[in-house]
Structure 1
Amino acid sequence: MGEQLGLRERKKRETRQHIADMAMGLFMTRGFENVTVAEVARVADVSVNTVFNYFRTKEDLFLDRQDSFVDEPSRVVRERRAGESVIAALRRDFFEALDEGDWRSGLNDGAEVVVRLINESPSLMSRMRELAERREEHLAETLAEETDADEDDLRPGLVAAQVCAAIRRLAADGIRRKIAGESHDDVVRDVRAQARLAFDLLENGIGAYGVA
């Protein structure tokens, strides 16, 4: 029974990923607003109902990593090393993501194309603002839990706001320059230097807050 459940869950994950991949291919080719859910279903060779079984809205098809996006800073905080502060852990993770070309940095290959599609769609822009707010709120809740903060303690929310704003600004500046035609290597090199400055500012202001 356990093996059957495992196979069923794997099949569901594969189906979900297949639908998302097919949808993104259409969005990248024709733009988000010009693609319907019915077209996604046809290309993925599933019914429209099946698409909505896995994705509540068309925006969810585009933002299929939204749960990971919202949770990522909180995950880094929860998994920080012994003796490592919140800012030190987030700094380390950001530079690792830059080195790996991972989406966590916001500067992975093709990120500028995704951002261009988002900027062309009012509904996607609205959803991204919502996700950014959820990400910040989730990080604030995680910081409060990790530091056993009182309900009236504003520090978790203040730290979360500063951290999320810094990471968002670093990614946005890098994407802006890539869209303008600058080379990926040049952009990453300069963002790395800017990130050192940003995290130095955060560390000097927040210091040893949240040491594990």
Structure 2
Amino acid sequence: MQSTPSLQSASLFGVGLRERKRQETVRRIADTALRMFVDRGFEAVTIAEVAEAADVAVNTVYNHFRVKEDLVLPPSEASAGRLAGIVRARGTGVSAAHAVLDHLRGEIRQRSRSIGLSPGFGRVLPMMLAAPTLAARLQDLGQQMVAELADLLIAETGAAQGDPVPGLVAAQIGWVHSLLYGEIGKRTVGGEASDDIAEAALTLLDAVEGLLSEQVLTYAIRKDT
């Protein structure tokens, strides 16, 4: 006789279905908003207009996106912990700088959205830079990334209070990250093909690595745990 699904399995299935629907709603709202922002400008579009175009209530938009800027830079993707997370996940024998360099190279080769190599980014970036609140948020995000990475390096290396080295290393890594984004953005806006942009980005990282000091490249090497 065929067994009847347990209440627990039915509940888990229900949770999975609800989560999929939630994710679909979030993606539909974000995609709709981005298209409208690119077409008309970020400041010219209201949340009410986004909700109507996405066929949801205004409260539904705010349930998933705390502020309007989150529609373009959602905290789940534009995270202040990005650099610290990359460094925290590095393997044994890998320094902080090499962890980020290797990770960025992987994102470039995968044409990752996280590094700005997604289709349509050439139209999205000018829209973001033209909106003062979004441009300010991008700048703040970069500063927060460096601050969180510096805190992690202090904790991992046991640096003494007032030691400037962790902050300086974090700033150098943050500079590499920002430089790469800027290069990809400039070339994307210029209409270059994604393969050409990726090749140029990899060349840039190789050049930057050659310029970084040995102290930066060997700082905070992960030891055996």
Partner of 1:75 in structure 2? 85
User: What is the Cα deviation at residue 203 of structure 1?
Assistant: 5.1
Partners of 1:78 and 1:146 within 8 A in 2: no
User: What is the Cα deviation at residue 35 of structure 1?
Assistant: 1.1
> What letter matches 1:94 in structure 2?
L
Partners of 1:38 and 1:48 within 8 A in 2: yes
Verify: 1:61 aligned to 2:71, yes or no. Answer: yes
Verify: 1:146 aligned to 2:156, yes or no. Answer: yes
Partners of 1:87 and 1:203 within 8 A in 2: no
1: CA distance, partners of 2:195 / 2:209 = 21
Partners of 2:47 and 2:68 within 8 A in 1: yes
Verify: 1:25 aligned to 2:35, yes or no. Answer: yes
User: What is the Cα deviation at residue 113 of structure 1?
Assistant: 1.8
CA gap 1:69/1:112 in 2 versus in 1, 3 angstroms:
farther
> What letter matches 1:17 in structure 2?
R
Verify: 1:112 aligned to 2:122, yes or no. Answer: yes
Question: How high is the TM-score relative to the length of structure 1?
Answer: 0.88
Partners of 2:98 and 2:217 within 8 A in 1: no
Verify: 1:131 aligned to 2:141, yes or no. Answer: yes
| Structure 2 gap segments, 5+ residues each | 1-7
2: CA distance, partners of 1:64 / 1:204 = 36
User: What is the Cα deviation at residue 183 of structure 1?
Assistant: 3.1
| Among 93, 104, 109, the residue aligned to 2:103 | 93
What is the DSSP-based 3-state SS (H/G/I as helix, E as strand, rest coil) of the residue aligned with 2:93? coil
Point out the structure with max Rg over C-alpha. Answer: 2
What is the DSSP-based 3-state SS (H/G/I as helix, E as strand, rest coil) of the residue aligned with 1:70? coil
| Among 174, 177, 187, the residue aligned to 2:184 | 174
Partners of 2:77 and 2:114 within 8 A in 1: no
Partners of 1:87 and 1:202 within 8 A in 2: no
CA gap 1:21/1:108 in 2 versus in 1, 3 angstroms:
closer
Partner of 1:47 in structure 2? 57
User: What is the total number of aligned residue pairs between the two structures?
Assistant: 212
| Structure 1 gap segments, 5+ residues each | none
Question: How high is the TM-score relative to the length of structure 2?
Answer: 0.83
Q: How does 1:149-160 map to 2 (within 5 A)?
A: 149-160=159-170
1: CA distance, partners of 2:91 / 2:134 = 36
2: CA distance, partners of 1:73 / 1:34 = 33
Partners of 2:180 and 2:201 within 8 A in 1: yes
Partners of 1:107 and 1:171 within 8 A in 2: no
1: CA distance, partners of 2:124 / 2:160 = 40
User: What is the Cα deviation at residue 209 of structure 1?
Assistant: 0.9
Q: Which has the higher helix share?
A: 1
- Percent identical: 35
CA offsets, 1:113-141, max 9 Å, x none? 22111122112111111111111112222
> What letter matches 1:137 in structure 2?
A
2: CA distance, partners of 1:106 / 1:67 = 12
What is the DSSP-based 3-state SS (H/G/I as helix, E as strand, rest coil) of the residue aligned with 1:52? helix
CA offsets, 1:39-63, max 9 Å, x none? 1111222211221122121111111
User: What is the Cα deviation at residue 162 of structure 1?
Assistant: 0.9
